Amino acid sequence: MKKIVFAIVACLGMSSIHAQTVEELKAQKAEKQAAADALQAEANAIQAQIDALPGWKIGAFGVIGGSLSEFNNWYAQGTPNNASGNIGFTVNGFANLNQEKFFWNNSLNVNLAWVKLDDKDDPTDSDDFREATDVFNLTSLYGRKLSEKFAVSGLVEYRTTILSNFNDPGYLDVGVGATWTPIKNLVVVIHPLNYNFVFSDNDTVFESSLGAKIVADYTRNIGKINFKTNLSLFQSYKSNDYSNWTWINSFSYTLWKRIGVGFDFGLRQNKQEAVNFNLANGNIGTTFENVDNKLQSYWTFGLSYNL
């Protein structure tokens, strides 16, 4: 009986010691976490001071996504013997110079992806990867400061595809006007005098024209989160048929060191591209008046890496 009582008392004592140890560890963790949060706040404040200093600011982040698979005699699906895959990546880079009297902002967005579906039972089927997503945007903005928030500016922006049909079409915007920076990290460009050069082998559809250019760009880093959104709009003075807009968004969240997860998506409307696509695919009667100018979109999700 004494042995049983002793065992019960020992167990209760060990439970008490264990509970006390857990509570102590939790308290130590909370204390360390509070200290780490305070240090992180100080680091963020110092980084904000660094960002406000004149000089070059260079950075980049991107997304990498992909998968490979192979099936043999998998009769439940329509193609029981196949090899498939998709590979894609996105790069968002910037190089910005900020001086007392002027600024020069440069940005690059590249989104490329390849896919394949090789039906092993079809000898005529291709086993190669083919282009799926093909986006290339390069922008350079120079501004002469009139005040803290306003500047007279000049913009050069080039957009095309690079995997296939390089510069067919390609768009080069060159214009002048004003740039407004109402808050930190937000840049709004309003250029009422802008010429939209369009390069293409199909001169009957694509046409260059004079118009207005509006660009809004917001890039932000908050701790482990990188975020960028860019809207580029051209309104043609000659015809609304030659107007176009593109909106690209990029997110990444760092999980470990510089590696994390990322998500990109883009939207676009361009009537010239819609007419050209329909004519190239046999819709001979397609015109600017009857074309179904559908909303274009893409998205990419995968691992991200911050440079």
CATH classification of the domain holding 176: 2.40.230
> Which of helix, strand or coil describes residue 99?
coil
| Boundary of a domain, candidates 14, 36, 53 | 53
pLDDT digits (tens, 9 = 90+) for 17-70: 555 687 777 787 888 888 877 877 777 677 666 666 667 888 888 888 777 788
Report the alpha-carbon distance of residue 31 to residue 96 in Å, rounded: 40
Q: Are residues 156 and 296 in the same domain?
A: yes
Q: Are residues 166 and 208 in the same domain?
A: yes
Q: Are residues 73 and 3 in the same domain?
A: no
Name residue 223's amino acid: G
Report the alpha-carbon distance of residue 208 to residue 234 in Å, rounded: 11
Q: Are residues 177 and 302 in the same domain?
A: yes
The residues, any chain, with a CB within 8 Å of residue 75's CB and separated by 6 or more, are: none
What number of other Cβ atoms are within 10 A of residue 92's Cβ? 25
Q: Are residues 45 and 95 in the same domain?
A: no
- Show the domain range for 219: 58-306
| Boundary of a domain, candidates 35, 53, 71 | 53
The whole-chain average pLDDT of the chain stands at 85
Q: Are residues 11 and 158 in the same domain?
A: no
Higher pLDDT, 226 or 78: 226
Q: Are residues 154 and 22 in the same domain?
A: no
Count of domains for the chain: 2
pTM for this model (two decimals): 0.76
CB 272 within 8 A of CB 279: no
DSSP assignment of 220-235: EEETTEEEEEEEEEEE
Q: Are residues 1 and 81 in the same domain?
A: no
| Boundary of a domain, candidates 32, 53, 74 | 53
Higher pLDDT, 292 or 237: 237
Q: Are residues 140 and 3 in the same domain?
A: no
The answer to which of 44-58, 137-151, 231-245 has the lowest mean pLDDT is 44-58
The residues, any chain, with a CB within 8 Å of residue 147's CB and separated by 6 or more, are: none
Report strand pairing: 55-71 vs 209-222: unpaired
Q: Are residues 49 and 62 in the same domain?
A: no
Q: Are residues 173 and 108 in the same domain?
A: yes
Q: Are residues 68 and 175 in the same domain?
A: yes
